[in-house]
Structures are given as C-alpha cells and as structure tokens.
Chain A
Amino acid sequence: MKPGVAVIGGGPAGIGAALSAARAGLAVTLFDEQPGAGGQVYRPLPAPFAADSGPDAEVGRRLRAELAASSVDARFARKVWFVGPAADGYEVRAVGPEGAETLTAPRLIAATGTTERIVPFPGWTTPGVMGLAATTIMLKAQHLLPGANVVVAGVGPLLAAVAVGILKQGGRVAAVVDLAGVGEWAAAMPAMAARGDLLARGIGWVAQIKRAGVPMLARHAVVAVDGGDRVTAVHVAPVDASGRPSGPSRTIAADSLAIGHGLIPATEIPRILGAAVEYDAARGGWITRADAYGATTVPGLYVAGDGAGIAGAAAALEGGRLAGLAAARDAGVLPADRFAAESAPLLAASRRAARFGGAMARMMAIRPGLVAAIAHDTVVCRCEDVTRGEIDEAIGAGARDVNQLKSWTRCGMGPCQARICGDVVGELIAPAVGGRLAAGISTARPPLRPLPYHALAGTFAYDELNLPAPAPS
C-alpha cells in the first residue's frame, strides 16, 4: 500500500474520502476530534446508551461499519492542532488519549465541516441559549431535551428537524421562529425536489409541528432574551428579507432557546497551508477555491464536504469520495480511465444532492439587515466580551479589515479564534471598507485548538533537558 493521505475530519465527507482513497490503494490516516465517526450529522449515540433507530442513525451505522472494515487507520478523540508543509508533503500534529502524535503524508484532505453562525442579539450569551446544531447533538447523541419549554429559532432545515426532535420526545416547543418567509421556501422547492426523499421528510416535519399546535412565525427573528443567568423569555419581531427587524416585538415565555443563523465552512487548515479562498455568501461565506473533485490551488491538498462550501450531508459523502479518488489519481495508484469511470456517477450524485443543499445554503446565507441591527452594547465576540460599540469605534478610527479590528479590540483573539464571531465581524466592517473581500478573514494559525501545555511537553526527565550553559558571571 502506498503512503498515503491524511484525512482531517470524520464526518460523511472525511469518511467518504478515506474509504475511496483506501480502496484505490492508498494508506489512509483519518483524524477526528470526536469519539466516533459520523461528524455532527451522523454523530453516534455513545455505547452506554441503548441503540437508536431512524434514517440518520442507520446511515451513520453503515458508514462506521464500512470504516471499521476498511484499511483506514482511523484515529478518534484527536485534536489536530497543527498542520504545516513538510519536505515530502504535509505534517499533521494531534493530541489524543495516548498523548502527542505526528504524521507526515504526501497528501492531505481537509473535511472539517462547519461552525454554526449566530448573529448576536441582547441576551444571546445567556446560559440556556444554544445553537441549533448543539441542540441536534443533545437530542441525537445524548437523548436530552434542552429544557421544558423551548423556542426554536433561526433559519434553514435544522429548525424543523430540532422542533420535531423535541416534540417526538414529548417536549414542549413554545414557537418556531424562521427568518425565511413562506415565499422563500416556495422558491426553494424546485431545487429541493432534486432530493425528493429529503424534501418529503421536511414536509412531514412541518406537518408534525403544525399538528402539535406550535406557532410557526415566518419572517421573524429573536430580538432579545431575558434572564441574565438563565433564559426566562424570548422576544421576537417581524423582519424584512434582509433580516432587519421591521415591527413591534412580542414576548414568548421559555426556559431555553435553540438558535442558528446558518453554517460557516471551516477553512482554517487550507488557509494555513496557503490555499486560495474566495467569498461566496450563498455557499456559507469564505470557502476554499477547489475544482469539482476538491483539488485546491495547493498541490496535494484537497477539500471536501461542507467545509468546502455548504452543500449538505448528502453531497458531503459523494464529495468526499471524489476527493479520495482525486488523491489516489494524483498519487499514481488510480489510472486515469478508472478515475473517470468511478468519478462520473459520484459527480452526478453529488451535483443532485448539492442542488438541494445549495438551496438550503442560499436560504442560510448571512442576512445583512440582521447584522446591521445588532445593538451598540451587545457583545459580539464572546471570548473577549467585545461589543458592537467597540467594533464600530475601531472602524470609525480607521480599522481596514478584520485582522486590524482584532489587533485593536481583541475581537476574535480569544480561545475560539473568531470561529463564532468572525463571520459577523466581517459583515460589520464590510460596508466601511468596500465589501467582504476587502474586509478579509481572520488569519488562521496553529494551535488550531487550545491545548494544555502538558499535552505537548509530554513526560520527560529533567536531566534529559538540553539546557544552555549558564552565562559567564
């Protein structure tokens, strides 16, 4: 077996990439932060829980079984904190249960998925306000309802999925608050019909929500949360198409809020490695420039899945398989005719799935009016407690891009490294500097995750330390 390829990310894209590269004859090492394969969408229920059923649980189980039966060296519970160029490819450093690990591979596939966007509003830092994706994880992988009375808000297909997940367990949904209007959903239908199965499932979800008598507020946004140290009420108001609140608000009693305003591709690894990125709001924002097979502008570096532009879980699996095949072709283990034969049906399937996912991604694109309406004293950067007012002040003083804003205000400098606030901050500065391209993207640097020092230092004896000679006295 030829060396090889490192795959970062064990969701559908990473699994697809690892399996197709391995089948083509490459040695594959896959790293993921989570304890098991599946990513967030097919996240496994931990073994101590009794097994689950349902279509997503089934897909996840099948992918995990395929991965386990393959030659892939799959390493979970690994925090990849460093990637860099090496003489013969790429170096990957991770920290896992057995300590520090380093791997060098001629090729690297980044399948790192997304972060959920939450556009700030007064009270969004209140404990009990959680992401829609986080709520999905609670429901699917921990069998937990977020609270006794939940407002589900934001935009995109997760809204209905989360509301139904709560109702199915006898939980109470106080309201579903959707940024998108009924007309937007109608306009998305033809593209969604490319995956009739997923469309039918979505329509079934909406019917269940209506049957349960849950109010569904189209073209509304959460404008504030009351509570301080816990959620007591959620204020909602009508918005225009840009997300800007356009009418009086009303109050809904609730003890928790599940909210998400779309998904942001995770591009840190390709950016650290020097790959070209581009801005496309309709695909989630900043994305890595890549061909149809995921090959980036950097030789030997590929991207796949939502991290390469939001297209959904179904497209991610096929996109991953394509990237795995491209890596195998470029490594010389997959002849051009076999590559063409194997990639053609995958390409067709991935385009079909991406039509559905693309419609969802367009609906989940950042809404400038919602960002523009962020209040002066609302915290935007959670890590460093930087407010809209402080950001505006820095823009007024002449900050020209997000990295200058970061230097001046510490916004995006904290432990999450701008993953939560960066997209919103880019949107805040964009009008002053001529758009999102000019506003730029927060520079990605190792460590990719905060690490305890001992995880890197490991164990050592003091007399093994190579200490410099003391300075002459």
Chain B
Amino acid sequence: MGTALVETLRGAVRFAGSRRGAPVTIRVDGVAIAAHDGETVATALLAAGLRAVRTSAIRREPRGPLCLMGTCQDCAVEIDGATDLACQRFVRDGMVIALVDGAGA
C-alpha cells in the first residue's frame, strides 16, 4: 500500500536515458522506496515524491532540501538512527530513514 502511495506523488524525475547503479531499497518511515546505488538519500526521497523531509524547528512548517551541498541543513533526517544530511549520504540497501519533526531527536 505504501509503495503505491508514494508512486502517485509527483517528485523529481530521473533522466530517461541515464544508466544508474544497481537497484536498492530503503525504508522511509516504514515505507519501502526504490532507489539506485550512487544516488544520495535526498535524491531518492525527491524522486519518490517526498519533497518535504522535515518540519521547521519553530513553526513546524514543511521543509525539503534547498542547497544539496551540505550548507542549508534543511534536509537533515534520521539515517540508520542518527541525524545526518540526506544530501551528503549515499543510499545503501536496507537503509532506514525517519523524516524529522522540528529540531529532531
């Protein structure tokens, strides 16, 4: 059910002709998401239509990746139990991601 849900969201679009790495699966808040070796967590999330990856610290408004180069900190999520930047980490098969509410744990 979860997979069907994310496929209906409009996300970033992988290049049609691009030859990507081997398929991997990551779990985002319990939902399986297909990605490819060589993609960052941010790319996998955006391509799955998950543009909002956290809420802001004070107003709790939806936020997503802004700079993709490790500066803005707006893509900080929980990766395998520790807060890290989605744009600075490559996906690994079986990786467990939790989207973050506010300042996080």
Contacts and interface: CB of A to CB of B under 8 A. Distances in A.
Interface of A: 33-35, 40, 45-50, 79, 115-116, 118, 125-131, 133-134, 137-138, 142-148, 169-171, 228-230, 255-256, 379, 382-385, 414-416, 419-420, 449-450, 452, 454
Given A49-B19, A171-B13, A416-B72, A144 B67 contact: no
A420 to B, nearest CB: 5
Most buried by A among B15, B17, B65, B72: B72
6 contacts: A79-B70, A127-B62, A134-B66, A137-B69, A384-B57, A416-B73
Contacts of B15: 143-145, 169
Nearest to B16: A170
A420 B12 contact: no
B59 A382 contact: no
A94 B2 CA distance: 39
Contact of B43 (A144, A229, A416): A144
Given A49-B20, A145-B15, A169-B15, A131 B67 contact: yes
B53 interface: yes
A135 to B, nearest CB: 8
Contacts of A144: 12-15, 43, 46-47
A125 B56 contact: yes
A456 to B, nearest CB: 13
Contact of B53 (A127, A228, A230): A127
Contacts of B10: 147-148, 230, 255
Nearest to A450: B73
B51 A143 contact: no
Band of interface residues on B: 35 or more
Nearest to B83: A452
A414 B73 contact: yes
A127 B67 contact: no
B72 A138 contact: no
A302 B84 CA distance: 31
Given A142-B39, A170-B16, A255-B10, 11 more contacts: A48-B21, A49-B19, A50-B19, A130-B67, A134-B65, A134-B69, A138-B46, A144-B15, A147-B10, A171-B13, A379-B56
Contacts of A34: 69-70
Contact of B58 (A50, A79, A385): A385
Given A33-B88, A48-B36, A128-B64, A146 B12 contact: yes
B96 interface: no
A230 B8 CA distance: 14
